[in-house]
Amino acid sequence: MSFVMNRDIPETYEELKQAFIDECKERYENIERARDLLAETEEQLEEYKDLYYQHNDDWVWCYGRKYDEEDQEWIYCIAGGGDHWENWIVGKDKCYIENKKGREEVHTFGVSPDGNRMMIWEAEEEWHDGEQDIREALKFE
Protein backbone atom coordinates (compact mmCIF):
# COMPACT_ATOMS: atom_id res chain seq x y z
CA MET A 1 0.00 0.00 0.00
CA SER A 2 1.19 3.48 -0.81
CA PHE A 3 1.04 4.88 2.71
CA VAL A 4 3.80 2.48 3.75
CA MET A 5 6.07 3.89 1.06
CA ASN A 6 5.41 7.50 2.15
CA ARG A 7 6.04 7.02 5.86
CA ASP A 8 8.04 4.98 8.28
CA ILE A 9 6.75 1.46 8.68
CA PRO A 10 4.51 1.36 11.76
CA GLU A 11 5.60 -0.94 14.56
CA THR A 12 2.18 -2.15 15.68
CA TYR A 13 -1.02 -3.15 13.97
CA GLU A 14 -2.84 -0.20 15.60
CA GLU A 15 -0.23 2.24 14.23
CA LEU A 16 -0.52 0.63 10.80
CA LYS A 17 -4.31 0.85 10.93
CA GLN A 18 -4.20 4.51 12.03
CA ALA A 19 -1.67 5.37 9.31
CA PHE A 20 -3.97 3.78 6.73
CA ILE A 21 -7.00 5.70 8.07
CA ASP A 22 -5.06 8.97 8.04
CA GLU A 23 -3.90 8.37 4.47
CA CYS A 24 -7.46 7.60 3.35
CA LYS A 25 -8.81 10.75 5.03
CA GLU A 26 -6.13 12.87 3.37
CA ARG A 27 -6.87 11.39 -0.05
CA TYR A 28 -10.61 11.82 0.48
CA GLU A 29 -10.14 15.47 1.45
CA ASN A 30 -8.02 16.03 -1.66
CA ILE A 31 -10.70 14.39 -3.80
CA GLU A 32 -13.41 16.54 -2.19
CA ARG A 33 -11.36 19.72 -2.77
CA ALA A 34 -10.83 18.69 -6.39
CA ARG A 35 -14.57 18.03 -6.82
CA ASP A 36 -15.42 21.43 -5.33
CA LEU A 37 -12.91 23.16 -7.60
CA LEU A 38 -14.24 21.30 -10.64
CA ALA A 39 -17.84 22.25 -9.81
CA GLU A 40 -16.85 25.89 -9.33
CA THR A 41 -14.95 25.87 -12.62
CA GLU A 42 -17.91 24.34 -14.46
CA GLU A 43 -20.21 27.05 -13.06
CA GLN A 44 -17.79 29.75 -14.21
CA LEU A 45 -17.57 28.19 -17.66
CA GLU A 46 -21.37 28.16 -17.98
CA GLU A 47 -21.48 31.85 -17.00
CA TYR A 48 -18.74 32.61 -19.51
CA LYS A 49 -20.56 30.66 -22.24
CA ASP A 50 -23.73 32.69 -21.62
CA LEU A 51 -21.75 35.94 -21.81
CA TYR A 52 -20.05 34.77 -25.01
CA TYR A 53 -23.37 34.32 -26.81
CA GLN A 54 -24.77 37.59 -25.40
CA HIS A 55 -21.80 39.78 -26.35
CA ASN A 56 -20.42 38.18 -29.50
CA ASP A 57 -21.58 40.28 -32.46
CA ASP A 58 -21.96 37.21 -34.70
CA TRP A 59 -24.76 35.83 -32.51
CA VAL A 60 -28.02 37.77 -32.88
CA TRP A 61 -31.25 37.89 -30.93
CA CYS A 62 -34.42 37.01 -32.80
CA TYR A 63 -37.37 39.32 -32.10
CA GLY A 64 -40.00 36.84 -33.18
CA ARG A 65 -40.79 34.04 -35.59
CA LYS A 66 -43.69 32.66 -37.54
CA TYR A 67 -44.29 29.66 -39.75
CA ASP A 68 -45.35 30.27 -43.35
CA GLU A 69 -47.47 27.22 -44.15
CA GLU A 70 -47.69 28.00 -47.84
CA ASP A 71 -43.92 28.09 -48.38
CA GLN A 72 -43.20 25.72 -45.47
CA GLU A 73 -40.60 28.06 -44.01
CA TRP A 74 -39.84 29.53 -40.63
CA ILE A 75 -39.40 33.31 -40.76
CA TYR A 76 -37.25 34.87 -38.00
CA CYS A 77 -37.41 38.64 -37.51
CA ILE A 78 -33.86 39.84 -36.87
CA ALA A 79 -34.44 43.57 -37.42
CA GLY A 80 -37.78 45.19 -37.96
CA GLY A 81 -39.20 48.50 -39.06
CA GLY A 82 -37.72 51.12 -41.34
CA ASP A 83 -35.26 50.48 -44.14
CA HIS A 84 -33.07 48.18 -42.09
CA TRP A 85 -35.55 45.32 -41.68
CA GLU A 86 -34.15 41.81 -42.01
CA ASN A 87 -35.63 38.33 -41.78
CA TRP A 88 -33.80 35.04 -41.68
CA ILE A 89 -35.75 32.37 -43.53
CA VAL A 90 -35.34 28.67 -42.75
CA GLY A 91 -36.73 26.12 -45.16
CA LYS A 92 -36.35 22.37 -45.17
CA ASP A 93 -33.48 22.47 -47.67
CA LYS A 94 -32.29 26.09 -47.82
CA CYS A 95 -31.73 29.15 -45.67
CA TYR A 96 -31.95 32.79 -46.76
CA ILE A 97 -31.44 36.31 -45.53
CA GLU A 98 -34.31 38.51 -46.70
CA ASN A 99 -34.30 42.31 -46.65
CA LYS A 100 -35.20 45.23 -48.93
CA LYS A 101 -32.62 43.95 -51.46
CA GLY A 102 -34.37 40.58 -51.77
CA ARG A 103 -33.34 37.07 -50.70
CA GLU A 104 -29.76 35.87 -50.44
CA GLU A 105 -29.09 32.18 -49.84
CA VAL A 106 -26.74 31.24 -46.98
CA HIS A 107 -25.34 27.85 -45.99
CA THR A 108 -27.38 27.62 -42.78
CA PHE A 109 -28.01 29.31 -39.43
CA GLY A 110 -26.55 28.14 -36.15
CA VAL A 111 -28.45 28.10 -32.88
CA SER A 112 -26.77 28.78 -29.52
CA PRO A 113 -26.94 26.06 -26.84
CA ASP A 114 -29.65 27.93 -24.94
CA GLY A 115 -31.70 28.31 -28.15
CA ASN A 116 -31.95 32.08 -27.74
CA ARG A 117 -29.49 33.30 -30.36
CA MET A 118 -28.71 32.61 -34.00
CA MET A 119 -25.85 33.24 -36.38
CA ILE A 120 -25.07 32.81 -40.06
CA TRP A 121 -23.10 29.59 -40.36
CA GLU A 122 -20.61 28.99 -43.14
CA ALA A 123 -19.98 25.44 -44.40
CA GLU A 124 -16.37 25.27 -43.21
CA GLU A 125 -17.06 26.36 -39.63
CA GLU A 126 -17.18 23.77 -36.85
CA TRP A 127 -19.98 23.47 -34.34
CA HIS A 128 -19.00 24.03 -30.72
CA ASP A 129 -20.45 22.21 -27.75
CA GLY A 130 -24.23 22.59 -27.78
CA GLU A 131 -24.47 24.62 -30.99
CA GLN A 132 -26.44 23.12 -33.84
CA ASP A 133 -27.83 23.66 -37.30
CA ILE A 134 -31.21 25.34 -37.00
CA ARG A 135 -32.78 22.81 -39.36
CA GLU A 136 -31.80 20.03 -36.95
CA ALA A 137 -33.24 22.03 -34.06
CA LEU A 138 -36.52 22.52 -35.97
CA LYS A 139 -36.67 18.85 -37.01
CA PHE A 140 -38.08 19.37 -40.49
CA GLU A 141 -39.83 16.26 -41.77
Q: What are 11-62's pLDDT values in tens digits?
A: 787 888 888 888 888 888 888 888 888 888 888 877 777 677 767 778 888 8
Per-residue pLDDT, averaged over 84-104, amounts to 91
pLDDT given at position 89: 93
**Would you kindly state where each structural domain of the chain is located, as residue ranges?**
2-55, 60-138
**In which band, very low, low, confident or very high, does the pLDDT at 4 lie, cut at 50, 70 and 90?**
very low
Lowest mean pLDDT among 10-19, 36-45, 68-77, 128-137: 10-19
Q: Classify 64 as helix, strand or coil.
A: strand
d(CA 136, CA 110): 10
- Whole-model pTM: value is 0.61
d(CA 88, CA 15): 73
Answer yes or no: is pLDDT of 7 > 70.
Answer: no
Among 114, 101, 106, 121, CA closest to 61: 114
CB 135 within 8 A of CB 128: no
Among 63, 81, 83, 76, CA closest to 120: 76
